[in-house]
Amino acid sequence: MRDRFCVAAIGYRQADTEVRGMFAVDADMNRQILAVAKTAGFKSVFIVSTCNRTEIYGYANHPHELAALLTRFTKGTVGEFIHHGFFKQGKDAMHHLFRVAAGLDSQIIGDYEIQGQLKQAIAMARAADLIGPIMDRTLNFVFQASKKIRATTLLSSGTVSVSFAAIEWLQQKVNPWPMKALVIGTGKFGTNVCKNLLHYLPQLQLHICNRTNEKSEELAAQLQAGYLPYDELAASLNSFDVIITSTAAPEPIVLPQHFVPGKQRFIVDLSVPANVHKDVANIDGIEMANVDEISAILEQTIARRHMEVPKAEAIIAEFEQEFYEWLHTYKHTPAIKLVKQHLAGWAKQNSCEFAATATNGSPEVDALVKQTVNNLMVNLKHKSEKGCHVIAAYEQFLNHPALSVEAS
């Protein structure tokens, strides 16, 4: 079973966005592929499709079977997928899944967004009855490893976007008392900055300004923040303690003449070209960071995360070993069930005889059956002489004091 676990994949390392787009799978396509897989007799299949990757996992004779299944509904052909993608089987495929779930295969290392995408893909496959018992247990080990990595390493620590890095810079600077903050710019980036400020620095009194007043007024109402009309910007800048700019203005809109020296202020310019005149940094009391300085925080974060990779890999190895030990035991399940039935049946047939001779405090028969089977499973897990272990299990059961009966 282990050797039939496969993945067929194409990702950011193998192809550009145009090629990856040929194999993108939306929710409707995902359901169609799963339906065909079910009809074709596949027992476990799930598909992960994001901007950075499309991967199909499942049990098959060869990964190309999964590629053929996937490409029945994509723009790209199976031949193109084979040319651009990659394929893994057995332990290699399993290790890849562990690494993906842990964020080790993400474009930004340690990015756990993929874990939510994985869980969503698995939920769709489960709804289609395409997550069998072995796959279910496999995923259990995969997510346990990911959880431990997140809890015990720094693989996902720190910020991984410029907007978050700006918050991290401010957290080191801003005092805990309420301060007036202004975000200039309400594009996607500026909106994210506003939301992050409210979440991570709730003590700030946030105000929003944009060249188009309607946009800033709408966002301010949505976030329950203050609204500053654009034509009041120049006259109001001196009253703010924190200023963050994120606009597409072709030249600086925050100028030295807007400030009175001596007041402590923190200014972050996230715009290219710069929104804040370079001479603003020379005003007494102002601390300023531009997009390059904020990006340096990201570089430090990524470097720190890379140092955690060996720890994460060691945790994956630990859970992989546990999974393979479980799988080794699982393949004996039919035989173990048969042994359990035989022991329980023998006990039932002979219950009258040994009940009279059972000593006080002896375990109940069902507990004894369970103990015997557990011992058998432990021996099968660690030793290879399967027939001898079964014989020993029967002897252990029959010779237990609770079942010892004088020969008539």
Higher pLDDT, 256 or 18: 256
Q: Give the pLDDT band (50/70/90) at residue 341.
A: low
Alpha helices in 174-270 (DSSP H): 188-200, 213-223, 233-236
Specify the 3-state DSSP secondary structure of 340: helix
pLDDT in tens, 20-47: 989 999 999 999 999 999 999 999 999 9
Q: What is the pLDDT of residue 206?
A: 96
Judge whether 352 counts as a catalytic residue.
no
State which of 116-120, 298-302, 311-315, 329-333 shows the largest mean pLDDT.
Answer: 311-315
For residue 273, cis peptide bond before it (omega within 30 degrees of 0): yes
pLDDT at residue 306 above 50? yes
Q: What is the pLDDT of residue 302?
A: 84
Q: By percentage, how much of the chain surpasses pLDDT 90?
A: 56
Q: What is the pLDDT of residue 355?
A: 47
Amino acid at the residue 258: H
Query: In the chain, helix, strand, coil percent, each to 5?
Result: 55, 15, 30
Range with the poorest average pLDDT among 92-101, 311-320, 322-331, 399-408: 399-408
Q: What is the pLDDT of residue 1?
A: 61
> For the whole model, what pTM was predicted?
0.64
Give how far Cα 407 sits from Cα of 128, 181, 395, Å.
57, 91, 16
Q: What is the pLDDT of residue 174?
A: 79
Q: Which of 138, 149, 45 has the alpha carbon at shortest distance from 326?
A: 138
DSSP bridge partners of 55? 9, 48
**How far is residue 21's CA from residue 316's CA, in Å, rounded to a whole number?**
31
Catalytic residue among 51, 194, 352, 388: 51
pLDDT in tens, 252-290: 999 999 999 999 999 999 887 889 999 999 999 999 998
